[in-house]
Amino acid sequence: MGSQFELDELRREKEALLARIPSLGNLMHGSYFSRHLVCSRPGCKCHSGEKHGPVMCLGVVYEGRQRQQYVPKSLEGEAVAAVDAYNQVLAILDRVSDINLQLFRAKAPGRGVKRSHASAREARK
């Protein structure tokens, strides 16, 4: 594997991917979904079954717990973009890691990621 041309291609792909990350800085780790809500106004029709919505919510992990964050209509685009940005950055990092492994393997003597018996024993200690 790994002609000089292929390795240069991988390096160029890696640089292009990393260059995209700064523009994806407004990211949020979560998911978005819509749901119907019951409000806190006493006597509101939502308490007798006619719930408000659908409204968009973000499902996020905050301080180690799963939370729901209400998203106002005016911020729906921003919320979707933020979740998408997070997923794009994750995909970029996975691909860059894959490229780095290929570049690393091209430099490493004794190619391959097979475990030898010795290193398998070492790992069990």
The residues of the shown chain that bind Zn ion, judged by CB under 5 A, are: 39, 44, 46
Residue closer to Zn ion by CB (options 44, 120) is: 44
Q: What is the nearest approach in angstroms of Zn ion to the Cβ of residue 52?
A: 5
Asked whether the CA dihedral 29, 21, 55, 73 is positive or negative, the reply is: positive
Residue closer to Zn ion by CB (options 29, 51) is: 51
Residue closer to Zn ion by CB (options 50, 122) is: 50
Residues 88/93/95/98 CA torsion (nearest 10 deg)? -160
3-state secondary structure of 34: strand
Q: What is the nearest approach in angstroms of Zn ion to the Cβ of residue 42?
A: 9
CB atoms within 10 A of CB 40: 7
Q: What is the nearest approach in angstroms of Zn ion to the Cβ of residue 54?
A: 14
Asked whether the CA dihedral 91, 96, 97, 101 is positive or negative, the reply is: positive
Residue closer to Zn ion by CB (options 62, 70) is: 70
Q: What is the nearest approach in angstroms of Zn ion to the Cβ of residue 76?
A: 20
